Chain A
Amino acid sequence: MSRKNLLNSKDIEIILHRLACQLIEKHDDFSNTVLIGLQPRGTFLANRLADLLKTAYAIKDLKLGVLDITFYRDDFRRKDKPLAAETNEMNFLIEDKKVVIIDDVLFSGRSIRAALTALESYGRPEEIELLVLIDRRFSRHLPIQPNYRGRQVDAINKEKVLVTWAETHKKDAVYIESL
């Protein structure tokens, strides 16, 4: 197995600042916006962005949720391994809100499809946007594209894009792994 480093912690920091600024450009003071990190791996990125918006850009009232999409996935009973759920932290309704879904890697688009269905349980939002750190090109199974992307990557299907965070893997980095 070979592993290629795509982004290091400095690159990621720059990207996070850019994404934060792009969000501010569109959402101003975030008074009508909610950020939602997808379980399990999108939550790290969502937390980082929320912290950055609060500390570096003085956004005071930021609503951040964590959404688990397990029960909405389209591969239930299609996999050998069981689908185990993670916790949900959605302590608000999204009725008439602008929602930004946050995930680390956009690949087939099926998780995002599931997230769109899951969000229906929390009301009818004004609009939903998608923010991802890594957008894998040419790999979509569904017509889903991000509104904000950290980096676009051409990786062939057998390769895997791995995002690690300081919180869990000691350092921030993005790798491409091939078997």
Chain B
Amino acid sequence: MSELSVEHLLGIKYLKPNDIDVIFKTADHFKEVINRPIKKVPSLRDVTIANLFFENSTRTKLSFELAEKRLSADVINFSAGQSSVKKGETLIDTVNNILAMKVDIVVMRHGNVGAGVFLSKHVDAKIINAGDGTHEHPTQALLDSYSIREKLGTVKGKKIVIVGDILHSRVALSNIFALQLQGAEVKVCGPTTLIPKYISSLGVTVETDLKKALEWCDVANVLRVQHERMDIKYFPSTREYTQLFGINKEILDNLGKKIVIMHPGPINRGVEITSDVADSNDAIILNQVENGVAVRMAVIYLLAQQIKR
């Protein structure tokens, strides 16, 4: 099987194990492409893609835009800050106006949970979710798993701990779905206030002691504390958070084994991770960024294939 079972990429929740296989195999080819002297293929010459970012983003937007351009698609960009959304236009109207300009694929980041699903039911285009509120961020989870697969050979059977603000993290939720789909064991670690109450119903174990969690795992995916999503105080101070859940060289040196360190960015150096760890050989943070382009190229290529001429 070399096609996706889904028509849009709205969340990892909707994917089957074979979809992840197909995406990774395709991404392998694109990784080779982006390491060539000329990093571009003409496959999507007649496809137009709109990047709609209703919420701030730097690397995801750049990564998608680069992926689209490396596939030779035409790209238009839209940020909510400079748009008619501020004038009171609804989401469907905004998107339909853009589609009237003959757009085939919409990559959307939106602050509301389920915005992608909603859009996919109302407009005639392929939708790729680039983050919907605190819900899912499927391409990030795919590139995280792809990076683990690249570093450790496989994701199956590996133990992954996600450290930090699980409650506000779409990266955490998508990662949990993606890792479990591939047969990995997932644990979450963070302040109790930042761990969703019913997280164990997803088959995930909880650990509040960072040291124990790190001793257990093969890979630690460290998340940023999302101050901008916090309406109340979830922990007393950043200093206390760093003392209890910050990853530093000393903790890692005392583990007696090597673990892989990941971070979806942007990093708050000195808060959830110290600089010497982020820049060490155990960290694959920049590999994640490189793989992000290849994985997004694969997703776009596979979805574009389904568009009828």
* Chain A residues packing against B (C-beta within 8 Å): 68, 70-72, 76-78, 82-88, 90, 93, 117, 120-123
Interchain CB contact (< 8 A) of B2 among A84, A87, A117: A84
Q: Which residue of A77, A83, A121 is within 8 Å of B37 (Cβ)?
A: A121
| Contact of A78 with B37 at beta-carbon distance under 8 Å, contacts A72-B42, A117-B42 already known | no
- Known contacts A77-B307, A82-B305, A84-B2, A71 near B33 by CB under 8 Å: yes
Interface of A is mostly: loop
- Residues in chain A near residue B44, CB distance under 8 A: 76
B309 within 8 A of A: yes
A-B contact count (CB 8 A): 50
**Other A-B pairs, 19, CB within 8 Å; known A76-B44, A82-B305, A121-B33:** A71-B29, A71-B42, A71-B43, A72-B43, A77-B307, A77-B308, A77-B309, A78-B309, A82-B2, A82-B3, A82-B302, A83-B305, A84-B26, A87-B28, A88-B29, A88-B32, A121-B37, A122-B37, A122-B38
Residues in chain A near residue B197, CB distance under 8 A: none
* B41 and A72 form a contact (CB under 8 A): yes
Q: List 17 A-B contacts (CB under 8 A).
A: A68-B29, A72-B42, A72-B43, A76-B43, A76-B305, A77-B308, A82-B2, A82-B305, A84-B2, A84-B26, A85-B26, A86-B29, A87-B29, A90-B36, A122-B36, A122-B38, A123-B37
> Closest CB of chain B to A110's CB: distance in Å?
14
Is B41 a contact partner of A120 (Cβ separation < 8 A)?
no
Assess whether B40 is interfacial by the CB under 8 Å rule. Answer: yes
Tell me, rounded to whole Å, the shortest Cβ–Cβ distance linking B103 to chain A. Answer: 16
Q: Which residues of B lie under 8 Å from residue A85 when comparing CB positions? A: 26, 29
**CA separation between A73 and B271, bound complex, in Å?**
49
Q: Which residues of chain B have a CB within 8 Å of any CB of chain A?
A: 2-3, 25-26, 28-29, 32-33, 36-38, 40-44, 301-302, 304-305, 307-309
**CA of A65 to CA of B135, assembled, Å:** 45
> Can you name the residue of chain B whose Cβ is closest to the Cβ of A90?
B36
Q: Find the A residue at minimum CB distance from B307.
A: A77
Look across to chain B and name the residue whose beta carbon is closest to the beta carbon of A88: B32
Min CB–CB distance B250 → chain A (angstroms)? 42
Give the distance in Å from the alpha carbon of A83 to the alpha carbon of B26 in the complex: 10
Q: Is the CB of B32 within 8 A of A120?
A: no
Find chain B residues with CB under 8 A from A82 CB: 2-3, 302, 305
- Report the bound CA distance from A77 to B303 in whole Å: 10
Chain B: CB-nearest residue to A69: B41
| Interfacial chain B residues near A123, Cβ < 8 Å | 37
A87 to B37, CA, bound (A): 17
Task: Give CA–CA (A82, B44) in the complex, Å.
Answer: 14
Q: Which residues of A contact B302 (CB under 8 A)?
A: 82
Whether the pair A93, B33 counts as a contact (CB closer than 8 A) is no
- Closest chain-B Cβ to A152's Cβ sits at a distance in Å of 32
- A121 in contact with B29 given A82-B302, A83-B305, A84-B2 (CB within 8 Å): no
The interface residues of chain B lying within 8 Å CB-to-CB of A70 are 29
Instruction: Name A77's contact: one of B25, B40, B42, B304 (CB within 8 Å).
Output: B304
* Contact B38 A120, beta carbon cutoff 8 Å: yes
Question: Which of B3, B28, B302, B305 has the most chain A CB atoms closer than 10 A to its own CB?
Answer: B305
Closest chain B CB from A95 CB (angstroms): 9
Nearest-CB residue, chain A, relative to B36: A121
* 6 closest Cβ pairs, A-B complex: A71-B41, A84-B2, A121-B38, A85-B29, A82-B3, A71-B43
Q: Which residues of B contact A84 (CB under 8 A)?
A: 2, 25-26
Cα-based distance from A90 to B35 in the complex (angstroms): 11
Cα distance A88–B44 in the bound complex, in angstroms:
19
**Listed residue (B25, B29, B308) with the most chain A CB atoms within 10 angstroms of its CB:** B29
For A114, give the chain B residue with the smallest CB separation.
B42
- Residues of chain A within 8 A (CB-CB) of B38 are 120-122
Measured in the bound complex, the distance between the Cα atoms of B50 and A82 in whole Å is 23
A147 to B178, CA, bound (A): 50
A82 to B301, CA, bound (A): 10
A87–B44 CA distance with the chains assembled, in angstroms:
20
How far apart sit A93 and B108, CA to CA, in the bound complex (Å)?
Answer: 38
Please name the residue on chain A nearest to B304 by beta carbon. A77
How distant is A124 from chain B, measured CB to nearest CB, in Å? 11
Instruction: Select from chain B the residue with minimum beta-carbon distance to A121.
Output: B38
Contacts of B25 in A (CB 8 A): 84
Residue of B nearest to A120 (CB): B38
